[in-house]
A and B are shown apart, each in its own frame.
Chain A
Amino acid sequence: MHLKKTLKSLFKLLPLLWLAACFTKEGEDKGMKVFHYPVAVKIKGIDPIQADDLYSGTEVSRVYDGLLEYHYLKRPFTLQGNLAQDLPTVSDDGLTYTFKIRPGVHFHDNKCFKNSIGRELVADDIRYTFMRNADPKENSKGWWMIDGKIKGLDDWRKNPDYSQDIEGLKVIDEHTFSFTLNEPFPQFLYALAMPFSFIVPRECVEHYGQEFLNHPVGTGPYTLDTFNQSNKIVYQRNKKFRDKFYPTEAAEEFVKRGLLKDAGKKLPFFDKIVVEVMVESQPRWLKFQDGKIDFIAIPKDNFSSVLTSEMELTDEMKQKEIELLIEPSQDVSYTAFNHDLPLFQNKKLRQALAMATNGDEYNKLFFNGTALVAQSIVPPGLAGYDEKFQNPYRQYNLEKAKKLLAEAGYPEGKGLPEITLDGTNSTDARQMAEFTKMSLEKLGLKIKTIQNPWPELQNKIKLRKGMMHSIAWLADYPDAESFFAILYGPNGSPGANGSNYNDPVFNKMVKEASTMQDSPERTALYTKMNRYIAEEVPVIFELHRTSVVVQHAWIKNFVVGDFAHDRSMYINVDTKQKERLLEEKF
């Protein structure tokens, strides 16, 4: 009797055991092409209009598509049609852009659609997407990008009614759509390749309401399977993905690297993407070493074990056939002042603080000297950057900084309140914050560092809380305007300008440049603006970083780059090679 009972209860446990087995063994992935993608922060959610950071932007681009995209292998970066068949036809006055929408593109199957079958994407979806971006209720983080640009949209925004017609957003027929702008806006096409403007279906937004953030429905190559904010995000291949093929043309450097082997093959290659959220760098590194994730930016503490002083891979890495990719990023890292506070209206104070932080030391300690000390805001590679320019307030000089601080009215920091410095919560970020704290305390300031999870830090910035924060900005498109945008007054939080810097002189220059086409005049103006910002020090510029990435040999077509957000559909894996290498070398 007793035995029977035990057996019975054991029997009941069987499904549980089976479930446990499912979680532990990786057999289910056998033969499947899986991409193991590491990410260093928690992802706040997957909704295009909330994707104002690199990480959520990347996740959004797995599920959603925009009208335009960057060619995967062409350099300099070139836009091409994506949901649009091709680049638009532009009217003579340069204000009307007419797109032909690709027919036969379907949204993912989802219960928000009739019969749970994804319907075809039509021109009206584009109209809806842009209206949603403008709707104040939706609190789009991308509105700043098109604020004041599209005809009639700003008026509509005051009293949103989705049935109303807007002059600037015109549905011509099911597969033709046109935008009309208020004035020339040379970056407009770039804006269409940014995650904010990726197309969403109205019925799903309305069906899920607030929860749309966690139930993405798009037209992209992958569908969301599991979303676990602090642990893992899993995507499955969209089996109904339209016919899209690997490019057949490439820049010289990529041809040499053999990136055209998959030319003309149908995309995407992976059956499944597993995004592993690992805030700390060491677990990430260990997983990479075990072959459990496919690539990684080398953590600062592992540099010496991966690279020799000549920046070559060590023998241990070569033996595992690991490959190295180095590419300067178009970015700038900085510590921002909250200009809402009268305290930071004091230019001398900002200059003093900038002068007291040693950029070279920072570069050496945290980036092994691979980065470039930022003199102003525009990174190398973009018009407006001046290689020879040295910002006097970025040359570390404690004595001069002390003098400036006294001139600012705070001799030896007297009279200053305790200043808070917000950053993210990994150990590296804490050490970086400590570095800034130490540097500024040498001036006599009192600094309090605060560590926040990434979504929380972003939230603080959006709500204009805090006094200083550390952050980095990556180019959204290959134009210095993308960097000036983060200091443009009207873009203040919740827009892209998290420092809330609002300087009429600079605003005027941004406005002036915004309607100019790429030309020597514009480059001259950009250079002038960059110098002006260097003098004003609205934020403490830190570095222009370089991606130093290692990948496993089984990952193919991997390219390190900036604003082309999702590249995972182009990346391939050689499963046989992976199996062999894992068996022999790991």
Chain B
Amino acid sequence: MSSPSSSSSNTTTVDASTMNNRENHQKPIPLKGRSLWSDAFRRLSKNKMALTSLIILGLYSLTAFLTYSNIIVSDWSESIGPSYAPPSFEDIRLLFGTDIFGRSVLYKAIKGTQVAMSVGLIVGIISVVIGVLLGAIAGFFGGIVDEIIVWFYTTLSSIPNIMLLIAITFILGKGIFSVYLALGLTYWVTLCRIIRGEVMRHKDRDYVQSAFSLGASRGRRLFVHIIPNVSHLIIIQFSLLFQTAIKSEVILSFIGLGVQGTPSWGTMIDDAKLELARGVWWQLAAATLFMFVIVLALNILGDALRDALDPKLKGKD
């Protein structure tokens, strides 16, 4: 995992002009400054690597959506040739050869995209919801609430992750649903820590104080004023969580605790473990390639987002 603690310290200070824009609606400012978001977008669009990654992410998402709605590779489970046919260019389906049952490895890898992307997305959302909510509450209210939440996540994070995952999948039974929950319920801790720290910094800032003096309730101060100002951290963390979840799904499926019955890159690599003995490398290659590209893209994107959203780097193009 990348080191999120450093990212938090880099990106804490919100530019004063941005704040004025948000808080001060009365007077139009003659020279309109760019908001954090439009500035970030401008900087991101200049970064070719990041743009490519974004496009890759888009393509994967599209593929996942299309496989999910059965528009493409709905016939992945059909045999298209003999068992373990090597890769060939004769037929697009044979690009990565066939598996033990003569099914197209390419189709399986594409079908695996659906599993991977859904795991990334859903795990990301679960962790963000839990992490942000608990982090914000702990940071904002402090005291006993904070202590309880901190105790909870410290305890949770002191249990080796893989053990926890195995325990959860054993309780819930195996399947994709368990993978979502198992990963979602264990991966929120880092985000929770970051948000807690950020909210602590922000809650005494002037803009929050002014909201308070205008009579804003606690909930309004937290969710309307503070959260939007730390939301860039959530986005960065989300992109990192996304790829961690994908990798974890592959590992879980590899050790037989992941998805059952539909192709996953993890089960493909698990198959490859045996097949390599007979010189069948294409299933491993396809699964690794598909995973490599998306994980790399998400990593680059995560870094680019961090740079783009860091106000300290503003203007250093």
Contact = CB atoms under 8 A, between A and B. Distances in A.
A305 B261 contact: no
A429 to B, nearest CB: 9
A430 B278 contact: no
B261 A301 contact: no
Looking at A428, A431, A449, the one whose CB has the most chain B CB atoms below 10 A away is A431
A451 B260 contact: yes
A558 to B, nearest CB: 24
Interface in B72-128: 77, 83, 100-101
A346 interface: no
Interface in B248-294: 256, 260-261, 267, 270-271, 273-275, 277-278
Contacts, number: 55
A184 interface: no
Nearest to B79: A438
A113 interface: no
Interface string A283-306: 001000000000000011111110
B261 A451 contact: no
B101 A435 contact: yes
Contacts of A437: 261
Given A365-B83, A427-B271, A434-B101, A285 B277 contact: yes
Nearest to B272: A427
Main secondary structure of the interface of A (DSSP, over half): helix
A301 B278 contact: yes
A248 interface: no
A482 interface: no
A425 B258 CA distance: 12
Contact of B267 (A285, A364, A430, A435): A430
A281 B274 contact: yes
Contact of B274 (A427, A435, A448): A427
A532 to B, nearest CB: 33
B174 interface: yes
Nearest to B255: A425
A365 B84 CA distance: 10
A517 B57 CA distance: 73
A537 interface: no
Of A428, A435, A438, A447, which is in contact with the most chain B CB atoms at under 10 Å from its CB? A438
Given A365-B100, A431-B100, A435-B101, A447 B277 contact: no
Nearest to B175: A448
Interface in B138-185: 173-175
A232 B175 CA distance: 30
B85 to A, nearest CB: 14
A300 B84 CA distance: 13
B257 to A, nearest CB: 9
Interface in A489-510: none
A363 to B, nearest CB: 13
A448 B174 CA distance: 10
A469 B275 CA distance: 25
Contact of B260 (A300, A441, A448): A448
A474 to B, nearest CB: 24
Given A301-B277, A427-B273, A450 B174 contact: yes
Size category of the binding interface on chain B: 10 to 19
A301 B274 CA distance: 6
A459 interface: no
B67 to A, nearest CB: 17
Contacts of B275: 301
B252 to A, nearest CB: 12
A293 B174 CA distance: 33
A230 to B, nearest CB: 13
A451 B174 contact: yes
Interface in A382-435: 425, 427-428, 430-431, 434-435
B260 A299 contact: no
A577 interface: no
B277 A302 contact: yes
Contacts of A282: 273-274, 277
Contacts of B271: 427, 431
A449 B174 CA distance: 9
Given A430-B267, A451-B174, A305 B274 contact: no
Nearest to B99: A431
Contacts of A285: 277
Nearest to A280: B273
A425 to B, nearest CB: 5
Contacts of A450: 173-174, 260
A451 B260 CA distance: 9
Given A302-B278, A425-B256, A448-B261, A430 B101 contact: no
Most chain A C-beta atoms within 10 Å of own C-beta, residue among B83, B256, B271: B256
B261 A449 contact: yes
Nearest to A426: B256
A548 to B, nearest CB: 15
A450 B277 CA distance: 26
A449 B277 contact: no
Contacts of A299: 274, 277
A303 B277 CA distance: 9
A304 B260 CA distance: 29
A300 B173 CA distance: 29
A350 to B, nearest CB: 22
A447 B274 contact: no
Nearest to B275: A301
A535 B267 CA distance: 37
B270 A447 contact: no
Contacts of A434: 101, 261
Contacts of B175: 448
B277 to A, nearest CB: 4
B58 to A, nearest CB: 32
A584 B270 CA distance: 34
A430 B175 CA distance: 14
A438 B77 contact: yes
A305 B278 contact: yes
A434 B277 CA distance: 20
User: What 3 A-B pairs have minimum CB-CB distances, sorted nearest first?
Assistant: A301-B277, A301-B274, A301-B278
30 contacts: A280-B273, A282-B273, A282-B274, A299-B274, A299-B277, A301-B274, A301-B275, A302-B278, A303-B278, A304-B278, A305-B278, A364-B83, A365-B83, A365-B100, A365-B101, A427-B273, A430-B256, A430-B267, A431-B100, A435-B101, A437-B261, A438-B77, A448-B175, A448-B260, A448-B261, A449-B261, A450-B173, A450-B174, A451-B174, A451-B260
Given A301-B274, A302-B278, A430-B267, 17 more contacts: A280-B273, A299-B277, A301-B277, A364-B83, A365-B100, A425-B256, A427-B273, A431-B100, A431-B271, A434-B261, A435-B101, A441-B77, A449-B261, A450-B260, A451-B174, A451-B256, A451-B260
Interface of A: 280-282, 285, 299-305, 364-365, 425, 427-428, 430-431, 434-435, 437-438, 441, 447-451
